Amino acid sequence: MTIMEMLERNARLYGGDVALVEINPGVPETRRLTWRDYSLVQETEKNYYRREISWNVFNEKANRFANALLERGIKKGDKVAILLMNCIEWLPIYFGILKTGAIAVPLNFRYTSDEIEYCLNLAETDALVFGSEFIGRVENIEAKISVNRLLIFAGSDTCPTFAESYSEMTADCSSKSPEILIDEEDFGAIYFSSGTTGFPKAILHRHRSLTHSCKVEQNHHGQTKDDVFLCIPPLYHTGAKMHWFGSLLVGGKTVLLKGTKPEFVLNAVSNEKCTIVWLLVPWAQDILNALDRGDFKIEDYNLEQWRLMHIGAQPVPMSLIKKWKEYFPSHQYDTNYGLSESIGPGCVHLGVENIHKVGAIGKAGYGWKVKIVDENGNVVNQGEVGELCVKGPGVMECYYNDEAATAASIKNGWLFTGDMAKEDEDGFIFLVDRKKDVIISGGENLYPVQIEDFLRGYNAIGDVAVIGLPDKRLGEIAAAVIQIKEGFTATEEDINNFCMDLPRYKRPHRIIFADVPRNPTGKIEKPKLRELYGGAGLVDAQNKS
């Protein structure tokens, strides 16, 4: 069963039930309208707090967009890019693309004009759907990207003259399924790598990857029809969407929250009766910090139904979960490891029954195999560090238009992740660091994640990134970029004294007090830090701190 068939089944079985809710806490709560009401509201009134659609309307909207695309010549195997902020239109547009047999190509909403153009060309897209926030960026490159490419505007502002209006092109289209024959071996989506080391790579997946992700997510977290999933991360990323796939499989309600402030999250959980929430480490830490400061009280919210908090996209400090359980003792907890190349979440996961192993990413996920290998591809001994490899139905087909990168990453069906890891005596896998982020200092391998985990134990540290910087004598040295919590202070001497409990070779040689930049999926942007603080930049930063 493809994910389009899952949507159609939900429309048949649960047609009138709420499928998606969009909450925008940034505007006053003046209207509570459904999608059908939305189409009747004047353009100037459309910026309101909450809206929702049912499974039946979700499916109808997807069908209308599919039929509109088919009328304009989009066909099976073509590629349609999506450049939208999280909104209630996002998923119906995504499914409308898939129902034509075309390949959906979600784009990072932080892309510059040049990056948008690069990705459209790399993926050889035939159309681009974009929202109001991107008019300027698309206009900058319109002359170059509009050649043999359909531009569709799906925003609330006046449609630019160089694009066609999504609302107008779908208004009179049939709401019936186009019934294009699609199976699991057809190509379904191209996702892009995080792009933290330059322009991103295009990752091609078949429909079986999408279907397997649904099964993995539901197997790991036990979603039922009664669960309500709170989705905060960007839908262009595999993590957010593939966690939502668990709700798609069972026909559960999902809330799309536009905002990450602690009060936004707790209000949404309370008002919408959310049972499952996926957070990134910074957002979870923000909630804990706000509770510590007394900004609000848990008893002011209706949170009894919240059963699961899970985290992905980055290593999770043990101290964070220990503190979380103090405030939320009844919560189940899980962490998930995945890559866009392995269709998002769950190729490795901890499991809600293994909270005693917090710090590990877990064991092979449902339907997945894992191994840890040395530089020659041989499996390492238990406890030794090597590169993590995964194998399963969700491994990408290839890096699109990049045979060399594909050959370097996929060998005999195994995806070489580029992450360094080790396995403990109980078979649980611990991430050590990204292969490219390992610091070689005086002949010793330093793994930044281990040093970061140690530093997070210092109460005043809100976030931290350890990077390697050039050094004439040692080759590289470890530098700690430290972001201090609001209301706290710390000096370089304080940090150095705390680090005395580390082995001497692991202690940071440089302490830099600055903000730690993260991308929308929560990953630290270490290339930016290396560029900013390498060489003379480091001296400037030290002087400022």
Q: What is the mean pLDDT of residues 463-486?
A: 87
Strand partners, 53: 20
- Say whether both 453 and 422 belong to one domain: no
Q: Tell me which amino acid residue 208 is.
A: R
With respect to residue 241, please indicate whether it lies within any of the assigned structural domains.
no
Over 80: is that where the pLDDT of 37 sits?
Answer: no
The residue ranking higher by pLDDT, 111 or 411, is 411
| Lowest-confidence region among 37-41, 125-129, 266-270, 352-356 | 37-41
pLDDT surpassing 80 at residue 227: yes
Number of domains in the chain: 3
Q: Are 310 and 335 in contact (CB under 8 A)?
A: yes
Q: Which two tokens stand for residue 399?
A: 């890096």
Strands 386-391 and 414-423: antiparallel
Please give the pLDDT value at position 152: 98
Where does a domain end: 400, 434, 468? 434
Do 400 and 313 reside in the same domain of the chain? yes
Residue 239: inside a domain: no
Nearest CA to 505 out of 461, 430, 421, 442 is that of: 442
pLDDT at 314: 65
Q: Give the global pTM.
A: 0.82
DSSP string for residues in 82-95 = EE--S-TTHHHHHH
How far apart are the C-alpha atoms of 392 and 111, rounded to whole Å? 30
| Token pair for 397 | 């087909």
Let me know whether 37 and 165 are in one domain. Answer: yes
3-class secondary-structure state, position 530: helix
Q: Coil, helix or strand for 320? A: helix
Beta bridge partners of 446: 439
- Decide: 138 and 116 in contact? Cβ < 8 Å: yes
- Per-residue pLDDT tens over the stretch 245-278: 999 999 999 999 998 899 999 999 999 999 999 9
Flag the least confident range among 91-105, 340-354, 426-440.
426-440
Q: Does one domain contain both 311 and 323?
A: yes
Query: Is 17 in contact with 53 (CB distance < 8 Å)?
Result: no
- Which residue range forms the structural domain that includes residue 52? 3-221
Q: Is the pLDDT of residue 121 over 50?
A: yes
DSSP 429-498: EEEEEEGGG-EEETTEEE-HHHHHHHHTTSTTEEEEEEEEEEETTTEEEEEEEEEEPTT----HHHHHHH
Three-class secondary structure of residue 155 per DSSP: coil
Please indicate whether residue 314 or residue 54 has the higher confidence score (pLDDT). Answer: 54
Residue 315: pLDDT band with limits 50, 70, 90: low
Least confident of 421-430, 461-470, 526-535: 526-535
For the beta sheet containing 276-279, the strands, ordered from the edge strand earlier in sequence to the opposite edge, are 32-34, 50-54, 18-23, 253-257, 228-231, 276-279, 308-312, 332-339, 344-349, 363-364
How far apart are alpha carbons 158 and 137 in whole angstroms?
16
Task: Find all residues with CB under 8 Å of 370, minimum gap 6, and list them.
Answer: 347, 348, 363, 364, 388, 389, 390, 391, 429
State whether 493 and 528 are in the same domain: yes
Instruction: Classify residue 248: in a domain, yes or no.
Output: no
Tell me what the pLDDT averaged over the chain comes to: 88
Give tens-digit pLDDT for 176-187. 999 899 999 999
- Token reading at 227: 């669960």
The tens digit of pLDDT for each residue in 274-310 reads 999 998 887 898 899 899 999 989 999 999 999 999 9
Residue tagged 């993260």 (tokens): 518
Regarding predicted confidence, which is higher, 262 or 537?
262
Domain-terminating residue out of 434, 450, 471: 434
Where do the H-state alpha helices sit in 294-364?
318-327
Same domain, 424 and 513: no
Judge if 171 and 301 occupy the same domain. Answer: no
What per-residue confidence (pLDDT) applies to 348? 93
In this structure, what CATH number is given to the domain that contains residue 417?
A: 3.40.50.12780
pLDDT in tens, 322-336: 899 999 999 999 998
Residue 535: per-residue pLDDT: 54
Does residue 328 lie in a domain region? yes
Distance, CA of 224 to CA of 305 (rounded, Å): 13
Residue 185 maps to a domain: yes
Residue ending a domain, choose from 434, 469, 499: 434
